[in-house]
Amino acid sequence: MDELEGLVRRLRAGIDSEESARRLDGWLRPRLGRYFRARGFVHHEIDDLVQQTLVRVFRNIGELQAEAAFLGWLFVVARNVGRSARRSRAREGEVLVRAGESHAGNEPAAPATSGVPEGRLRLAEIAEAVAELPGQQRRCLVLAARDGLSYAEIGELLGLSPLTVRNHLAEARRRLRRRLGEGGGGG
């Protein structure tokens, strides 16, 4: 614990900050990974959540009042990052359900008042399936479904070629169809 407080103190004071940040990062990553894993996040999400938490911590460490309060503050930041991720996951699921309904093709839409509980269960199932997609596939799918971006626009945002975006989207849709029990035919 003394070592942790020393690293935080050195980082806040700007003393050997690169080395202090590297050592602190090495100390925090496994602990944050266990924290997010214990809260039900899956492997591909955990890496992103740990990174987001560390970015916020390092960016705002100067606001910390006392080194002794660091761990409490760290896990408040981690909790907030996790909550944001859960809200985002739910929004992505809602967007994909709406996108799927608008592109359903020849299938008639179900009346808006029918099966509300079933609809909510399906929404949760879709959100969970989307959250389990690998990061790039999930990001491409959300940008296409939610924002209506083209392959080129998504590629520019994510630093990918349009062909890679197309492949990520195709694989994401295949995975979702398999996961949600909808046949692999059609497209």
- pLDDT tens per residue across span 103-133: 444 443 444 444 445 666 677 788 888 888 8
Give 184's pLDDT tier (boundaries 50, 70, 90).
Answer: very low
Residues of the chain with CATH 1.10.10.10: 133-187
Average pLDDT, the chain: 79
Q: How far is CA 2 from CA 5, 17, 32, 115, in A?
A: 5, 17, 19, 57
CB 146 within 8 A of CB 89: no
Q: Select the more confidently predicted residue: 117 or 185.
A: 117
Torsion of CA 102, 104, 108, 110, to 10 degrees: -60
Hey, what CATH topology would domain 2-86 get? Rna Polymerase Sigma Factor; Chain: A (1.10.1740)
- In whole angstroms, what is the distance from residue 98 CA to residue 90 CA? 13
Q: Give the model confidence (pLDDT) of 9-67 as tens digits.
A: 888 877 777 888 898 899 999 999 999 988 888 887 899 999 999 999 988 888 887 87
What is residue 99's predicted lDDT score, i.e. its pLDDT? 59
Contact 100, 177 (CB under 8 A): no
Which CATH fold would you assign to the domain 133-187? Arc Repressor Mutant, subunit A (1.10.10)
- Average pLDDT estimate for 171-176: 91
Q: For residue 167, give both structure tokens.
A: 């492949």
In the numeric block, which tokens belong to residue 71?
A: 């761990």
Report how far residue 113's alpha carbon sits from residue 60's, in angstroms, rounded to the nearest whole number: 47
Give the Cα separation of 31 and 33 in Å (integer): 5
pLDDT at residue number 132: 86
pLDDT at residue 155 greater than cutoff 70: yes
Q: pTM here? A: 0.51
Band of pLDDT at residue 185, cut at 50, 70 and 90: very low
Residue 112 has a pLDDT of: 43
Residues of the chain with CATH 1.10.1740.10: 2-86
Nearest Cα to Cα of residue 32 among 89, 80, 86: 80
Q: Which helix (H) or strand (E) holds 10?
A: helix 2-13
> Residue 97: pLDDT band by 50, 70, 90 thresholds?
low
Neighbours of 126 (CB within 10 A): 20
d(CA 11, CA 2): 14
The pLDDT value recorded for residue 116 is 46
HSE toward the beta carbon, residue 83, CA cutoff 13 A: 6
Whether 103 and 97 have beta carbons less than 8 Å apart is answered as no
